[in-house]
Structure 1
Amino acid sequence: MTDTTFDGIREFVAAAQSLSFTAAGLELGVTSSAVGKSVSRLEARLGVKLLHRTTRRLILTQEGETYLASCLRVLDELAETQGLLTTGQQEPIGRLRVDLPATFGRRHILPTLIEMAVRYQKLDLSVSFSERLVDIVNDGIDLVVRIGTLKDDAEIVARKLGSQCLLICATPDYLARHPAPQNRNDLLQHDCIVGWRHGTRKTWMLIDENGQTVEQEVRVKHEMGDGEMLLNMTLAGAGLAQLPTWLVQDYIERGDLVAVLERYAGAEMPIHVIWPRTRYIQPKIRMIVDELLALAQRDSIIFRPE
């Protein structure tokens, strides 16, 4: 009896990526009708609809999107393994889906990813930027960099790259109009600019008199979606903001910003690289993780090692 487990996958992937049976047929060297029949047999075997057919184009169903992500991951792993067997060298092959924090990711992670994509021509990148805690498994993301404390999750693996140190600062103009805060509770009287987070308390992380990290309530004037927006709002003189040293140090040295409440400064937030837990880590993920760990060691001012 013939095993049909993998029948139709190649045709489905080609059709799903091009959203056309005709284009898929041209790619595979068969007729569009043959592609359509292969996909139909695959759908019947799975018991789900993967593609909606219209007169103009194909549309992936939700089940189709999930199945496509799984198929692409498996095909990428096969391609990487084949490359290793035929050349004897590990090389990242296939698409890598990465999600980064907006400002930190663009400034400090993306250049390394771009350099690797140029070095390894068979590596394809899909990079997105967000501050939210993505569902790395269900969203089909291969690698995530996140700043902040992580929740326990058995489905992910995390490696710490380092930490970022936080300062509270404002422009000299703002401080000329509003007396600089002298203690933590003064933050309830100031215009504070915070990062936007849905459904979370608006607090800053400070170091108390005993050297412990504490959460301090602040009076929120403005909420911004990422670090660049926070910085721009602060430089405009709109209020106080708590920002990482890697983002504001140059402005402080030039006098554009002034650090306040320095005796409470020094709170740190961990920086992790995260990927889904599997029995076998794909070579491309392992190589990117190794590269980011090496980057963190080189740029100790940015990543602040333990």
Structure 2
Amino acid sequence: MRNTDHLGGITAFVTTAQLGSFTAAAERLGLTRSAVAKSVGRLEERLGLKLFQRSTRRLSLTPDGERYLASCQSALDILDEAEADLTSHITRPAGRLRVDLPAAFGRQRILPLLLEIAREYPELSLTVSFSERFVDLIEEGIDLVVRIGELADSSGLVARRLTTQKLVICASPDYLRQNGEPDSIDALSQHRCIVGVRRNQPVSWLMKQPNGELTRVTPPATHEFADGEALLGAVLGGCGLSQLPLWLVGEHLNSGALQEVLPGYSGGEVPISAVWPHSRRVLPKIRHVVDRLVEASEQGLLD
């Protein structure tokens, strides 16, 4: 029991140090804030050292706390490696997989694949969220995200490009009959444009110039939506022009419900990637899902 208390105190200490507060550590560990604080307090009492400087606004590590954190992290790495060796024979996806997906693409292309995997492996449980925001995988306990766009560098993450999102500008035939069709990028300012929003900022349109150069343009927005399906609904409803991914509008272009505009400036592509935390050994649940995503991409199922 005493060793268990020691390990619990170490886990509470390391989690608190990584997240910067007892409240965040409590959420991660599934405990109350007071339970985490008491566990760290008992650890400090046993060591006879102060590991944190406490103030009304924040926690900071003392010099002793910084040295102890480095030692604890090394010890936990050894335990993780021992666990990996012990479970190396387990190859089937199992346990809870926490995934965050972009809303429209995630629902249309990724979620059906995740549900198929869940049916094949009953030992696997899914927690799936949909967002366009930046997600701190380590802090929020997310196992895997799929993201559209260029990725910021991070030494703590691994990324695998799955496919690219091909973009086209389109409008409904009714809108074009009433307003005409733009013949240049500059002419977009004379039209009603429907623009996506991400993190409260308008999403620029990616244009491929006739010489192959890619440029970004942010047209004056008549309407702004933070969801791809809402953008599509507005364009189908004749509310204006928008640049949308081909996977979202392809069937509507084929049926004639939408018409491509400025085709000479099409051809811009945005990467779509799977991202997960770096570790010595990728868990089977993550490895299997990433492998299936790559396979689906190679078969054209994500386009």
Residue 170 (structure 1) shift: 0.4
Q: Which moved more, 1:117-126 or 1:228-237?
A: 117-126
- The structure-2 alpha-carbon separation of the partners of 1:81 and 1:299, relative to structure 1 and needing over 3 Å to count, comes to same
Letter of the aligned partner of 2:115 in structure 1?
A: I
Amino acid of the structure 2 residue aligned with 1:148: G
Q: Secondary structure at the match of 2:201?
A: coil
Runs of 4+ in 1 over 4 A off after TM superposition: 7-10, 16-19, 38-41, 80-85
Aligned to 1:42: 39
| Corresponding residue number in structure 2 for 1:58 | none
Is 1:189–1:219's contact at 8 Å kept on the other side of the alignment?
Answer: no
Measured after TM superposition, the shift of residue 218 of structure 1 is: 0.5
Secondary structure of the residue aligned to 1:250 is helix
Please give the residue correspondences for 1:157-168 in structure 2 after superposition, counting only pairs within 5 Å: 157-168=158-169
Q: CA deviation at 1:41?
A: 6.5
Query: Would you say 1:188 and 2:178 are equivalent positions?
Result: no
Secondary structure at the aligned position of 1:196 is classed as strand
After superposition, residues 225-244 of structure 1 pair within 5 angstroms as 225-244=226-245
**How far, CA to CA, are the matches of 2:203 and 2:118 in structure 1?**
39
SS in 2 for 1:138: helix
Match of 2:118 in 1: 117
Summarize the Cα distance change of 1:280–1:82 in structure 2 as closer, same or farther, 3 Å threshold.
Answer: closer
TM-score when normalising by structure 2: 0.74
Aligned-pair identity in percent equals 43
Gap change, CA 1:155 and 1:83, over 3 Å in 2: closer
Query: Which residue number corresponds to residue 27 of structure 1?
Result: none
Q: After superposition, give the CA deviation of every residue in 1:58-97 in whole Å (9 maximum; x if it has no partner).
A: xxxxx9xxxxxxxxxx9xx89x959946xx4412221111
Could you say which residue in structure 1 is the equivalent of 2:74?
A: none
Contact 1:193 1:239 in 2 (8 A): yes
Which residue of the partner structure matches residue 72 of structure 2?
A: none
Looking at structure 1, the residues matched to 9 and 120 of structure 2 have their Cα atoms a distance apart, in angstroms, of 34
Q: After the TM superposition, which residues 94-243 of structure 1 pair with which residues of structure 2 at under 5 Å, given as runs? A: 94-243=95-244
Shift of 1:139: 1.7
Structure 2: runs of 5 or more not aligned: 12-24, 45-58, 60-76
The CA distance in 2 between the partners of 1:246 and 1:201, in whole Å, is 21
Greater shift after overlay, 219-228 or 194-203?
A: 194-203
Give 1:244's aligned amino acid: P
State the AA in 1 paired with 2:168.
L
Secondary structure class of the residue paired with 1:163: strand
Residue 264 (structure 1) aligns with? 265
| Deviations, residues 215-237 of structure 1 (Å, cap 9, x unaligned) | 01301011112111110111010
**Change in 2 beyond 3 A, CA 1:5/1:121:** farther
- Aligned twin of 2:275: 274
* Equivalent runs, 1:6-21 vs 2, <5 Å: 6-7=7-8
- Contact 1:99–1:128 (8 Å) recurs in 2: yes
State the shift of 1:194 in Å: 1.1
Tell me how far 1:251 sits from its aligned partner.
Answer: 0.7
State the Cα distance separating 1:42 from its structure 2 match: 3.3
TM-score (norm. length: structure 1): 0.74
Q: CA deviation at 1:18?
A: 9.5
Aligned residue type for 1:245: L
Alpha-carbon distance in 2 for matches of 1:249, 1:190: 23
How many residue pairs get aligned? The number is 257
Q: How far did residue 43 of structure 1 move?
A: 4.6
Partner of 2:254: 253
How far residue 188 of structure 1 moved from its aligned partner, in angstroms, is: 1.5
